[in-house]
Chains A and B, each alone.
Chain A
Amino acid sequence: MHRSTDAGATWTEFAAPQYPKVAGGEKDDTAPSLKGIWSLEWAGADRPAGVWCGTAPGGLFYSPDLGDTWIMNDALWNMPERTKWIGGGTEHPALHSICVDPRRSDRVAVGVSCGGIRVTEDGGKTWGVGAHGLRADFMPPEMQYDPDIQDVHMMVQSPSSPDVYWLQHHNGIFHCTDNLKNWHEITTAPVSKFGFAVAVHPTNANTAWFAPAKKDEDRYPVDGNVVVQRTDDGGKTFKVQKNGLPQGNAFDLIYRHGLAVDTTGERLAMGSTTGSLWTTDNGGEAWSLLSAHLPPIYAVRFG
C-alpha cells in the first residue's frame, strides 16, 4: 500500500493489513491470510488519520495513523455467524462496503458479499445485524431471509439523512429508512434490478443512482445499452438516463465502486470494465465520454 500527503508528488509505501497467526502457525493451510483489499474509508472527522480497510476473506482492519499500523477487528472476525459467510462469485467473502455514520464515528456499518450487513455502535467492540429484510431468492426458501448469507453488492448511506441507506443486492435493489432496522425491496427499476454500483445524493436521500446489468449470468448491459437508473422519490419511480452513453453493442459493466457522486450532487463519474470513463455535470441528464481507452476500471472517486 502507498500514501501521499502532497497530492501525489511523493509516495510512502507501508505494509498492508495482515491476518494474525493462528495456532497452527504459518504452515497451517487453514490459517486466514489476506486475499485482497476491497475497501478503504475514512473513519470520521474526529479521527483525521483513521482509516477502515475491508478485505477478503472478510476481515475488517482499522488504522489510527494512515496505515502505519493496522488493527484487526477481532469482534467481527470472531462472531460465530461469520462462519456462514461465503464468497460471492469469488473464492472468499469480501468486505466491500464501509459506511461511517456522519453523526457519530463509532457507528459503522459494513457490507459483505456474501455475509449481509453488520453494524457497530461502539467503534467495533460489538456488532449487530443490519440486514433484516434483505432477500436472496437464489437460496432455499428457509434461508432466503437469513441476514448472514445476503449477497450485498454495494451499500451507501445518505450523508444528509443518515437513517437512510441504499443497497444494490445480487437479488435486486433495497432501501432502508430506519437506520438499518429493516430493508425494503424496490421492484420499480425499469431496466434491470441487477447490478453492482449505487450512489446516493449528498443532500437528498430520496435520490440515488444505479448502474444496471442484465442479470447474474449475463453480466453486460441490457440490449447492449449503457444506462443509469435514477430515482428522486425514494424508489417509487426511476428515470432511465442514457444521453451520452453508448446505445447498442456495448459490453461495459460497472463494478461496485465504479460510480461516484461529488458533494454537489450534480457531478458524477462512472467507469467500466472495458475502460470507458464518463462524467456528468447535471446529475446524469447528459453524460460525456472522458476516455474510451482506459484499462478496466475498478473504482472512481472524487476528492
Chain B
Amino acid sequence: MTHALYVSTRKGLLVYRRNATGWAHYATHFLGSPVSVMLPGTDGKTIVVALNLGHFGV
C-alpha cells in the first residue's frame, strides 16, 4: 500500500499524501539542506535519508 510520495530535493525532503482530489503536500523535512537520497519503508513510518552538507552554495 502506498502511504506517501517522498521527494528528495536540493532544499529538503518533501512529503505528499493522497486526499480526495489527489496528492497534497503534507510535510517538509530538512528545509534548506540537500537531501541526496531517501529510503521510505513499506510500514509508512520508517524513513532513512542522506544529506549532502558539503557547502552552502545555491
Q: Which residues of A contact B (CB under 8 A)?
A: 1-8, 11, 16, 36-42, 51, 53, 66-67, 257, 262-264, 267, 269, 271, 275, 277, 279, 281, 288, 290, 294-303
Known: A1-B49, A303-B44. A39 touches B37 (CB 8 A): yes
State the majority secondary structure of interface residues on A.
strand
- Are A290 and B50 neighbours in the complex by a CB distance under 8 Å? no
Report the minimal beta-carbon distance from A152 to chain B, rounded to whole angstroms: 17
Q: Which residues of A contact B36 (CB under 8 A)?
A: 36-38, 298-299
Q: Is the interface of B mostly helix, strand, loop or mixed?
A: strand
Q: What band does the interface of chain B fall in when counting residues whose beta carbon is under 8 Å from A?
A: 35 or more
Question: B residues within 8 Å of A by Cβ?
Answer: 1-12, 14-16, 22-23, 27, 29-30, 34-42, 44-52
Asked if B50 and A16 make an inter-chain contact with CB atoms under 8 angstroms apart, the answer reads yes
Q: Is A38's CB under 8 angstroms from B37's CB?
A: yes
Asked whether, in the complex, the Cβ of A288 is within 8 Å of the Cβ of B10, the reply is no
Contacts of A1 in B (CB 8 A): 48-51
Which of A7, A40, A262, A279 is B22 in contact with, Cβ under 8 Å? A279
7 pairs, A vs B, C-beta closer than 8 Å: A36-B52, A294-B9, A297-B8, A298-B10, A300-B6, A301-B39, A303-B3
